[in-house]
Structure 1
Amino acid sequence: MDQSWMNSISPFVRAARIMKSSSLTGEWMDHDHVFTYIEQGEAEFFLGGVKYEAREGDILLMHPLMSHIIKSTSTVPLIQFIFHFDLFYDEERSLIINTHASKRMRKKVVEREMQLASIVPISHLQIADRIDLKKRFLLLHKEFLDKRPGGSLMMKAICLELLHIFLKNQTDRKDDEGKMTKGWAFIEKAINFIHESYSDAQLNNTSISEYAEVSTNHLSHLFKKQLGISVQKYVTHIRIEQAKKRIIEGKLTLTEIADVVGFSSIHLFSRSFKATVGITPSKFAAMQSALINENR
């Protein structure tokens, strides 16, 4: 794909939302681009008649007028991070709030907005990129809700970063499919142990590598090479994800959550949460409460 056109794009973000649904089946067609990140769950996406199996960590990018049918396939609720955008700013199109493609709007989709029509519309992210994406999306979502002066410029910048994450994970995707990851037996054993032991504040690289029956240095090398993340950062990622689930459940205080997921203090928890998610635990809790009230 000729990428010279990318030097001139100036994205306009029209909408951003977090969508949670226990049972989702439907068909949509929009006049703009739809960027969807699967935060939780699995679903079948039929994009332009082609079926894609999407799971946690996948990005799907639908170009304008691409028919997409979505069907949930997992027992847990499907959570999607979604934003709509145009590749190029147009004053007339910027006034369009509704994203659904009416017959009138279909005539207004110009050729330059179809630059991404030829790409494979799905990318699967490594752990490091998932963490980066979530942090950036939540910042974009906050800017969209706050509607502050200069917010459109911030959203434009974040949109470009998220597009870069999507495109860079397209590289060699087909070549890697169906091949066993080198050293996966050690990685899988370490991951299973982390998921079982993340609540232990004393969990460290040494205990994890001993359980995986591999040297600490080699396990660190495998995580960096195959997952794009350090062992300790993966542990923090799991703890933060578990904390987010408990915050959403709303049954425990933040201090109790910090203890349950393995942080030695509320201060370390707050600092790690903000560094990973981009906002404090209390702000995240407030956003979740607002989202629940909005969907009632």
Structure 2
Amino acid sequence: MNDWMETVSPFVRVVKIIKSKSLAGEWIDFDHVFTYIEQGEAEFILNGVKYTAKEGDIFLMPPFLSHIIRSTSDVPLIQYIVHFDLHYDETRSRWKVTSLINEETEKIYEKEMTLSSVYPVVQLRTADRIDLKKRFLLMQKVFLDDKPNRSLLLKAICLELLGFFIQGQMESKNREGTLTKGWGIIEKTINYIQGNYSDPELDNQTISEHVGVSTSHLSFLFKEQLNITIHKYVTYVRIEQAKLLIVKGEKTLTVIANEVGYSSIHPFSRSFKAETGLTPSQYYAVHSNIRKIDKERD
């Protein structure tokens, strides 16, 4: 493990805080995802293996590690999240939307998979949690500020966060995960939904017929293992895809609604606001300002 430490030069792509009460996180990302649990408890399902997450835990997920995260506590789950590459690459640095997997982003860079065998979770010592939080909040401020030394500061703080994780690896015992019941069926279902969310006729019966199990059994597995209905997961995927299209800013909201499986703008707007707290037009306005800032930086 020590060899990579001599050459690593992180490129930070996203710094964010996510607060959620149910399903959270993307299905798959092309870069590393550093996640610190600031509040709450959750289940992290990583390639079908379930880990119990609690306050003070750090998860480090390498590129293309399939994952589902759901809150299991009464209080909202608060995650401090950093998306980063281990090494700067000019082409990869232009990739902004972390869950946008396509022919270009799915290419595996061998040097980016160095940490793929690292145990994914550690418990941070209480004494270190305040320090990590300070470093992360500074990182978020730097990420949002438009200053000439932004990339260098982000790189430096990212190395510090990696240091917390590696130190935790040395100090804590590995917590065994458990294989998720029916994961093969769940994974097949998720893959089918990811490939067919644009179909407005997509429903539980169609999905279960494709997977090869009864609708009732599939619904039971989703509710038992993910604590979410199939319909709710389809909605989640559609809204996440809509957010990606809105951020790109290349299509009208009506076109986006149609492309993510809604028959018209009205049910799309209702679903979008229920999931995000913003109307599609409000979400567009927020991200149009972010795009403007990014263009000015470039």
TM exceeding 0.5: yes
Alignment partner of 1:112 is 2:111: yes
Deviation at 1:172, TM superposition (A): 4.5
Residue 165 of structure 2 corresponds to 166
Please state whether the residue corresponding to 1:139 is helix, strand or coil.
helix
Match of 2:31 in 1: 32
**Structure 1 counterpart of 2:81:** 82
The share of aligned pairs that are identical, in percent, is: 59
Residues 27 and 9 (structure 1 numbering): CA distance in 2 closer, same or farther, change over 3 Å? closer
2:3 is matched with 4
What letter is aligned with 2:16?
R
Maintained 8 Å contact 2:11/2:87 = yes
Deviation at 1:5, TM superposition (A): 2.1
Gaps of 5+ in 1: 178-292
Query: Could you give the per-residue CA deviations for residues 133-185 of structure 1, whole angstroms, max 9, x where no partner exists?
Result: 000000100011113111110000000000000011111422899xxxxxxxx
Residue 242 of structure 1: aligned partner: none
Q: Counterpart in 2 of 1:146?
A: 145
2:97 alignment partner in structure 1: 98
Shift, 1:32, TM fit: 0.3
1:63 aligned partner = 62
Letter in 1 for 2:151: S
Give the direction of change, closer, same or farther, for the CA distance of 1:87–1:21 in structure 2 (3 Å limit). Answer: same
Shift of residue 9, structure 1, vs aligned partner: 0.8
Report the Cα offset of residue 24 of structure 1: 2.6
Q: Is 1:52 the equivalent of 2:51?
A: yes
Determine the C-alpha separation between the residues in 1 that align with 2:2 and 2:131.
24
Name the SS of the counterpart of 2:156 in structure 1: helix
Structure 2 counterpart SS, 1:103: coil
Question: Which residue number corresponds to residue 15 of structure 2?
Answer: 16
Separation of aligned partners in 2, 1:67 and 1:176:
19
CA contact (8 A) 1:143 1:151 kept: yes
User: Alpha carbon RMSD of aligned pairs, Å?
Assistant: 2.1
| Shift in Å, 1:128 | 1.4
Task: Answer yes or no: is the 8 Å Cα contact 1:15–1:84 preserved in 2.
Answer: yes
Structure 1 match to 2:127 = 128
Amino acid across the alignment from 1:15: V
Cα 1:53–1:176, aligned 2, differ >3 Å: closer, same or farther?
A: closer
Matches for 1:258-277 after TM superposition, within 5 Å: none
Query: In the alignment, what sits opposite 2:230?
Result: none
Other structure's SS at 1:59 match: strand
User: Scaled by the length of structure 1, what TM-score is found?
Assistant: 0.57
CA distance in 2, matches of 1:294, 1:125: 35
What SS is found at the alignment partner of 1:44? Answer: strand
Secondary structure, counterpart of 1:30 in structure 2: coil
Q: How does 1:153-192 map to 2 (within 5 A)?
A: 153-174=152-173
> Which letter does structure 2 place at the counterpart of 1:121?
P
Name the CA distance, whole Å, in 1 between partners of 2:153 and 2:82.
14
Q: Aligned AA for 2:13? A: R
- Aligned counterparts of 2:123 and 2:10: Cα–Cα separation in 1: 23
Unmatched 5+ stretches in structure 2: 177-284, 288-298
Mapping for residues 232-251 of structure 1, pairs under 5 Å: none
Decide whether aligned partners of structure 1 residues 19 and 164 sit closer, same or farther in structure 2, where only a CA change above 3 A counts.
same
The equivalent of 1:41 in structure 2 is: 40
Paired amino acid for 2:112: E
Q: Which runs of structure 1 show a deviation greater than 4 angstroms over 4 or more consecutive aligned residues?
A: none
Contact 1:16–1:84, Cα closer than 8 Å, also in 2:
yes
Q: Which residue of 2 aligns with 1:197?
A: none
Aligned equivalents of 1:60, 1:77: Cα separation in 2: 18
Tell me if the contact between 1:35 and 1:59 (Cα under 8 Å) persists in the aligned partners: yes
Larger Rg: 1
SS at match of 1:17: strand
